[in-house]
Amino acid sequence: MSTPPVSTALVPVPTPSVLSELAKTGLSIVMVYTTHYSSTKLYNLVCVPNGVTGYFFGFLTTASPWCKLLLELMKLTENQYSSVILIVFSRILLKAMGV
């Protein structure tokens, strides 16, 4: 049995550039916010529509599985989006303080 040459074992692993990491982060933020916004608008349209009809049909629609799913999706994405904002502002503050 022969061992592979050392030169091929030490090939540097390419690291992602800062720009590609920022693009991934930005895309993640846009996806989370789009999901939150879409689920909120759909919840308002389907589960609690405006007007008197929304008031009367809200008793039936807000307990439906679809509305529960939309509400949970809103909660989840709100937490994720809040965490991202907190992390970004904390990083900016630490950078400004020189830490």
Q: Is residue 63 part of a domain?
A: yes
Q: Smallest Cα–Cα separation from 77: which of 20, 19, 26, 38?
A: 38
Q: Is residue 80 part of a domain?
A: yes
pLDDT exceeds 90 at position 3? no
Q: Is residue 32 part of a domain?
A: yes
User: Could you tell me the CA-to-CA distances from 43 to 21, 26, 36 in Å, in that order?
Assistant: 33, 26, 10
The whole domain housing 29 covers 24-94
Q: Is residue 30 part of a domain?
A: yes
Question: How many distinct structural domains can be found in the chain?
Answer: 1
pLDDT exceeds 80 at position 12? no
pLDDT exceeds 80 at position 55? yes
Q: Is residue 12 part of a domain?
A: no
Q: Is residue 72 part of a domain?
A: yes
Tens-digit pLDDT profile for residues 73-88: 999 999 988 888 888 8
Q: Is residue 76 part of a domain?
A: yes
Radius of gyration of the chain (CA): 24
